[in-house]
């Protein structure tokens, strides 16, 4: 029986000193508001040198030659290294996994050797005493490049006449998945209405405010490579550096201190970062690479870029009968290593139609190569596309049969009492709360009141729209996500706790912090489980030498998986402490408890001994303890979800906005989200994950777009030209919760980091279309720029 269970009638939420479920501030945030963070570019180290890259100006070009003589002679230059030079130290990789059957890609080098395959691919590296000198020398490299035919448009990438980017692969098809479940043809044949559309989700990118950054240092005397990295998954990076530089695990340490935003951008292997590591090995000294913003736009992974032809069948009384989709996505010239670029299309297939009861579903997804920046996983992988398609069709169907869109959802959402359940795509749900979420959302937003206001304003020529979007979100991934396909990415995480003599607890854990509040949540869980003040807990993350092996933070796993490891570890440490306390106090562990750093009588709460006194005796006067008592004040516990591949969460979003039908401008008035991430460990942190996620979703819906010309040149690759949401145009957001803990863990926490991004674009696009309804105009393109809206209105 667990310690928590022994406290009869009390859950961990009710423990006398529980921090779980409270909005306590993050302990690591105070130094950040003081400007005392340590991002990679803030590190100071002796003999540090800087690398800058010459990047291909062409989307596809043969590298006939590089004249590096002038660059080598430039002031401050230490080394000029070509792709061939670096390939002698670092082997190439291929971004495929076995569970994506048929996925293919080509070998990719840290620095291109024979061919550049996108505009922005590094083709030569210069190391100098300062970044400015390295850039000066890059400008002196004479590159003899032969432009090659480009494949840019994903729509024609598979056409017979289109140049094949990697001849060895035979064609430009990287991956294809098809699915046919139930009787789709029958569903469409018997439908009262069939609604269809072609949905387009443009390419966008993460724009982490701190650009990608890395410092690598090879210390030959120690035979140790230390990599300071702005990254989400240090153990994954360690493993990959070992593999491609031929180093044993003991020789590579990856350290991730403060990370200035990640959102999935900083979880992939980047050629320029691997080149930096290789250069450190070659030069036997620290080498730094910090992407400047212009190169971020053409070297950070891009995301989305999907075109989905979709249709849905509905009966006359509003029953959804089935879905059929055809997804096409362009991923650039390589499948990104090691997670691959097949994941997003795969998720679109898995998730489309997912909130609803229907069991007839046909899907095809094709993933094609093109000469653009590589595309890979970014926050809420696949979700915003699937949700936009599903919810867009649901709104169209409601309009087609003359039913209120909230009512149509109410009739079709998987019932809260129908779990466990399986979606038409085969994904499994342990327990969801769609019905509760919908009703809570409608109440929060005063749906009926808003509809009335909308009608009144319409009479005055003011066009407001209300958009709803149901979503499901993949969280707490098991090994089913990557491990089964051969990726050496940990799905388990461990937490090691150490009790120090004064009663302080050091928690080291494999999940990482990029601002979500990981360290805060882990401190809350540990303090609660052990029974010490939160101020006595210090959390260590992001160091492969110092933490248990783990996956890091991505796919909403830090709180659900890391939190559970911390909880189990905390319970074990507490039990060990009470065993020792019982001996010192000549009592039994069962009648004692540890609360706020004091050993107390469990029944009365009366203090028996401060924890610091126990620490003093155990550490400094063990001679006074019985010979057979062996205090063990360091414990480790691990956790990995095993009973479900993923802990799905669910929720509902709504957008209220106004469209100016003369200019096409959209004014966001308000946004609501009700979500269910199971046990809420810190309400404020969850709410802020939701809000931040919503705004990233709004960015995709209205502003963010990597625009390309026919030659594969990105046209808006600067912060001035690529639009991200600004405070003045963002709405206030109300967040509500339904709490359905997962039974896979004791804490019951699921993830919350991607829910906002998953549902917000669909809510916004549906609201725009709701506003445009009197004009019989429809927008199904993200971003829905004013131009798109005016085009839909027939004004341009």
Instruction: Tell whether residue 692 is a contact of other proteins (CB under 8 A).
Output: yes
Instruction: Tell whether residue 292 is a contact of other proteins (CB under 8 A).
Output: yes
b or e along 610-619 (b: 16 or more beta carbons within 10 Å of the residue's beta carbon)?
A: ebbbbbebbe
Site string for other proteins, 733-772 (x = CB under 8 A): x----------------------x----------------
Instruction: Tell whether residue 129 is a contact of other proteins (CB under 8 A).
Output: no
Beta bridge partners of 344: none
Q: What is the closest distance, in whole angstroms, from the C-beta atom of residue 213 to other proteins in the complex?
A: 10
Contact residue for other proteins among 85, 239, 258, 788 (CB under 8 A): 258
Instruction: Tell whether residue 21 is a contact of other proteins (CB under 8 A).
Output: no
Report the DSSP pairing between strands 666-676 and 733-737. parallel
Instruction: Tell whether residue 685 is a contact of other proteins (CB under 8 A).
Output: yes
Candidates 26-34, 84-92, 400-408, 637-645: pick the segment binding other proteins (CB under 8 A).
Answer: 26-34
Q: What is the closest distance, in whole angstroms, from the C-beta atom of residue 47 to other proteins in the complex?
A: 16
CA angle, 605 then 606 then 608, to 5°: 120
Quick one: 443 or 718, whose CB is closer to other proteins? Answer: 718
Find all residues with CB under 8 Å of 24, minimum gap 6, and list them.
520, 524, 534, 682
Q: What is the closest distance, in whole angstroms, from the C-beta atom of residue 111 to other proteins in the complex?
A: 23
Q: What is the closest distance, in whole angstroms, from the C-beta atom of residue 289 to other proteins in the complex?
A: 14
Site string for other proteins, 702-731 (x = CB under 8 A): ----------------xxx---xxxxxxx-
Contact residue for other proteins among 260, 485, 510, 717 (CB under 8 A): 260
Residue bearing tokens 């490299």: 141
Instruction: Tell whether residue 669 is a contact of other proteins (CB under 8 A).
Output: no
Contact residue for other proteins among 13, 14, 16, 30 (CB under 8 A): 30
Candidates 25-33, 402-410, 652-660, 736-744: pick the segment binding other proteins (CB under 8 A).
Answer: 25-33
Instruction: Tell whether residue 514 is a contact of other proteins (CB under 8 A).
Output: yes
Contact residue for other proteins among 500, 684, 773, 775 (CB under 8 A): 684
CA angle, 2 then 519 then 35, to 5°: 160
Other Cβ atoms within 10 Å of 593 Cβ, number: 24
| Per-residue tokens: 349 | 């297939």
629-634 contact pairs (CB < 8 A, 24+)? 629/580, 629/583, 631/576, 631/579, 631/580, 632/576, 633/498, 633/499, 633/573, 633/576, 633/577, 634/496, 634/497, 634/498, 634/499
| Per-residue tokens: 618 | 């155990």
What does 719-784 look like in DSSP terms, one character per residue? TTTS----GGGPPPEEEEE-----TTSSS-B---SSHHHHHHHHHHHHHHHHHHGGGT----EES-
Candidates 353-361, 511-519, 616-624, 738-746: pick the segment binding other proteins (CB under 8 A).
Answer: 511-519
Closest CA to 677 of 665, 666, 667, 689: 689
Instruction: Tell whether residue 264 is a contact of other proteins (CB under 8 A).
Output: no
C-alpha span between 725 and 48 (Å, rounded)? 36
- In 386-476, beta strands by DSSP E: 421-422, 428-429, 463-475
Contact residue for other proteins among 15, 26, 235, 399 (CB under 8 A): 26
709-to-172, 300, 785 alpha-carbon distances in Å = 20, 19, 18
Q: Which of residues 413-452 bind other proteins (CB under 8 A)?
A: none
| Per-residue tokens: 356 | 């609803």
C-alpha span between 513 and 520 (Å, rounded)? 9
Contact residue for other proteins among 21, 95, 202, 206 (CB under 8 A): 206
* Cβ(241)–Cβ(227) below 8 Å: yes
Instruction: Tell whether residue 624 is a contact of other proteins (CB under 8 A).
Output: no
Contact residue for other proteins among 7, 11, 29, 795 (CB under 8 A): 29
Quick one: 73 or 84, whose CB is closer to other proteins? Answer: 73
Instruction: Tell whether residue 35 is a contact of other proteins (CB under 8 A).
Output: yes
Instruction: Tell whether residue 32 is a contact of other proteins (CB under 8 A).
Output: yes
Quick one: 641 or 751, whose CB is closer to other proteins? Answer: 751
Candidates 174-182, 334-342, 508-516, 644-652: pick the segment binding other proteins (CB under 8 A).
Answer: 508-516
Q: How many residues bind other proteins (CB under 8 A)?
A: 57
The continuous run of DSSP H or E covering 226 comes out as strand 224-229
Q: What is the closest distance, in whole angstroms, from the C-beta atom of residue 175 to other proteins in the complex?
A: 30
Beta bridge partners of 253: 226
Instruction: Tell whether residue 210 is a contact of other proteins (CB under 8 A).
Output: yes
Instruction: Tell whether residue 34 is a contact of other proteins (CB under 8 A).
Output: yes
C-alpha span between 133 and 146 (Å, rounded)? 28
Find all residues with CB under 8 Å of 471, minimum gap 6, and list them.
355, 383, 387, 650, 651, 652, 653, 755, 758, 759, 762
Per the omega criterion (within 30 degrees of 0), is the bond before 420 cis?
yes
Instruction: Tell whether residue 681 is a contact of other proteins (CB under 8 A).
Output: no
Instruction: Tell whether residue 541 is a contact of other proteins (CB under 8 A).
Output: no
Quick one: 553 or 650, whose CB is closer to other proteins? Answer: 553
C-alpha span between 164 and 369 (Å, rounded)? 9
* Cβ(478)–Cβ(645) below 8 Å: yes
Quick one: 692 or 712, whose CB is closer to other proteins? Answer: 692
Q: What is the closest distance, in whole angstroms, from the C-beta atom of residue 730 to other proteins in the complex?
A: 5
Instruction: Tell whether residue 677 is a contact of other proteins (CB under 8 A).
Output: no
DSSP-based three-state secondary structure for 131: helix
Closest CA to 596 of 18, 30, 117, 121: 18
Other Cβ atoms within 10 Å of 728 Cβ, number: 5
Quick one: 433 or 689, whose CB is closer to other proteins? Answer: 689
Find all residues with CB under 8 Å of 647, minimum gap 6, and list them.
430, 475, 476, 560, 641, 678, 742, 744, 750, 751
Instruction: Tell whether residue 37 is a contact of other proteins (CB under 8 A).
Output: yes
Contact residue for other proteins among 95, 211, 353, 354 (CB under 8 A): 211
Q: What is the closest distance, in whole angstroms, from the C-beta atom of residue 660 to other proteins in the complex?
A: 18
Contact residue for other proteins among 67, 159, 545, 732 (CB under 8 A): 732
Residue bearing tokens 């996925």: 103
Candidates 436-444, 460-468, 509-517, 522-530: pick the segment binding other proteins (CB under 8 A).
Answer: 509-517
Instruction: Tell whether residue 528 is a contact of other proteins (CB under 8 A).
Output: no
Is the Cα dihedral 382, 383, 384, 390 positive or negative?
positive
Instruction: Tell whether residue 665 is a contact of other proteins (CB under 8 A).
Output: no
Instruction: Tell whether residue 263 is a contact of other proteins (CB under 8 A).
Output: yes
Instruction: Tell whether residue 41 is a contact of other proteins (CB under 8 A).
Output: yes
Instruction: Tell whether residue 515 is a contact of other proteins (CB under 8 A).
Output: yes
Contact residues: other proteins, CB under 8 A: 23, 25-26, 29-30, 32-39, 41-42, 44, 132, 206-211, 258-263, 292-293, 514-517, 684-685, 688, 691-696, 718-720, 724-730, 732-733, 756
């Amino acid at each position: 029986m667990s310690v928590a269970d022994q406290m009869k009638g009390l859950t961990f939420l009710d423990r006398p000193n529980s921090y779980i479920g409270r909005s306590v501030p993050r302990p690591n945030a105070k130094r950040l508001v003081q400007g005392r963070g340590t991002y990679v570019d803030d590190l100071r180290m002796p003999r540090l040198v800087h690398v800058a890259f010459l990047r291909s100006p062409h989307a596809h070009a043969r590298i006939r030659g590089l004249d590096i003589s002038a660059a080598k002679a430039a002031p401050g230059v230490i080394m000029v290294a070509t792709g061939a030079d670096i390939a002698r130290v670092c082997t190439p990789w291929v971004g495929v996994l076995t569970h994506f059957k048929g996925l293919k890609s080509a070998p990719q080098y840290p620095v291109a050797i024979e061919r550049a395959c996108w505009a922005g691919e590094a083709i030569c590296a210069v190391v100098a005493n300062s970044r400015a000198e390295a850039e000066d020398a890059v400008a002196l490299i004479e590159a003899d490049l032969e432009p090659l035919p480009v494949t840019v448009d994903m729509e024609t990438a598979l056409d017979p006449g289109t140049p094949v980017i990697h001849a060895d692969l035979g064609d430009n098809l990287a991956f294809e998945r098809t699915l046919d479940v139930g009787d789709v043809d029958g569903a469409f044949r018997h439908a009262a209405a069939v609604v269809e559309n072609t949905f387009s989700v443009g390419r966008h990118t993460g724009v982490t405010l701190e650009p990608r950054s890395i410092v690598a240092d090879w210390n030959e005397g120690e035979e140790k490579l230390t990599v300071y990295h702005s990254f989400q998954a240090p153990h994954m990076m360690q493993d990959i550096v070992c593999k491609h530089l031929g180093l044993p695990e003991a020789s590579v340490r990856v350290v991730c201190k403060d990370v200035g935003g990640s959102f999935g951008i900083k979880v992939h292997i980047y050629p320029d970062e691997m080149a930096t590591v290789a250069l450190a090995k070659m030069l036997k000294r620290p080498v730094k690479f910090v992407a400047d913003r212009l190169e971020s736009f053409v070297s950070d992974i891009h995301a989305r870029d999907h075109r989905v032809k979709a249709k849905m069948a509905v009966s006359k009384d509003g029953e959804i009968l089935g879905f059929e989709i055809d997804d096409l996505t362009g991923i650039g010239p390589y499948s990104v290593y090691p997670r691959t670029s097949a994941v997003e299309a795969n998720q679109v297939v898995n998730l489309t139609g997912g909130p609803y009861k229907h069991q007839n579903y046909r899907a095809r997804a094709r993933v094609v190569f093109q000469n653009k920046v590589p595309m890979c996983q970014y926050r809420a992988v696949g979700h915003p596309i699937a949700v936009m398609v599903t919810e867009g069709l649901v709104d169209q169907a409601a309009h087609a049969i003359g039913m209120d869109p909230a009512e149509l959802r109410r009739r079709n959402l998987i019932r809260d009492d129908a779990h466990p359940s399986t979606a038409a795509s085969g994904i499994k749900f342990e327990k969801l709360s769609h019905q509760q979420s919908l009703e809570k959302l409608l109440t929060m937003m005063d749906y009926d009141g808003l509809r009335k206001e909308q009608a009144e304003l319409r009479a005055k020529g003011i066009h407001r729209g209300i958009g709803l979007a149901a979503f499901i979100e993949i969280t707490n991934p098991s090994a089913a996500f990557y491990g089964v396909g051969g990726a050496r990415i940990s799905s388990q995480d461990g937490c090691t706790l150490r009790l120090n003599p004064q009663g302080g607890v050091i928690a080291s854990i494999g999940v990482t912090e990029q601002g979500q509040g990981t360290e805060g949540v882990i401190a809350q869980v540990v303090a609660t489980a052990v029974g010490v003040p939160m101020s006595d807990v210090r959390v260590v993350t992001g160091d492969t030498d110092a933490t248990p092996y783990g996956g890091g933070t991505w796919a909403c796993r830090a709180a659900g998986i890391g939190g559970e490891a911390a909880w189990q570890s905390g319970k074990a440490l507490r039990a060990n402490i009470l065993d020792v306390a019982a001996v010192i106090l000549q009592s039994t562990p069962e009648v004692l408890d540890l609360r706020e750093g004091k050993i107390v009588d469990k029944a009365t709460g009366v203090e028996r001994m401060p924890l610091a006194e126990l620490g003093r005796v155990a550490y400094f006067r063990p001679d006074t303890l019985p010979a057979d008592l062996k205090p063990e004040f360091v414990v480790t516990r691990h956790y990995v979800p095993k009973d479900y591949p993923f802990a799905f969460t669910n929720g509902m979003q709504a957008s209220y906005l106004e469209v100016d039908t003369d200019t096409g401008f959209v004014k966001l008035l308000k946004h609501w989200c009700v979500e269910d991430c199971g046990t809420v460990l810190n309400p404020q942190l969850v709410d802020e994950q939701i809000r931040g996620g919503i705004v990233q979703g709004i960015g995709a819906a209205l502003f963010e777009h990597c625009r390309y010309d026919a030659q594969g040149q990105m046209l808006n690759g600067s912060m001035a030209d690529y639009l991200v949401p600004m405070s003045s145009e963002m709405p206030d957001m109300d967040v509500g919760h339904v709490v359905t803990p997962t039974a896979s863990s004791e804490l019951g926490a699921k993830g919350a980091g991607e829910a906002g991004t998953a549902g917000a674009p669909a809510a916004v696009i549906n609201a725009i279309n709701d506003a445009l309804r009197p004009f019989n105009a429809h927008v199904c393109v993200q971003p829905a720029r004013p131009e798109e809206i005016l085009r839909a209105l027939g004004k341009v």
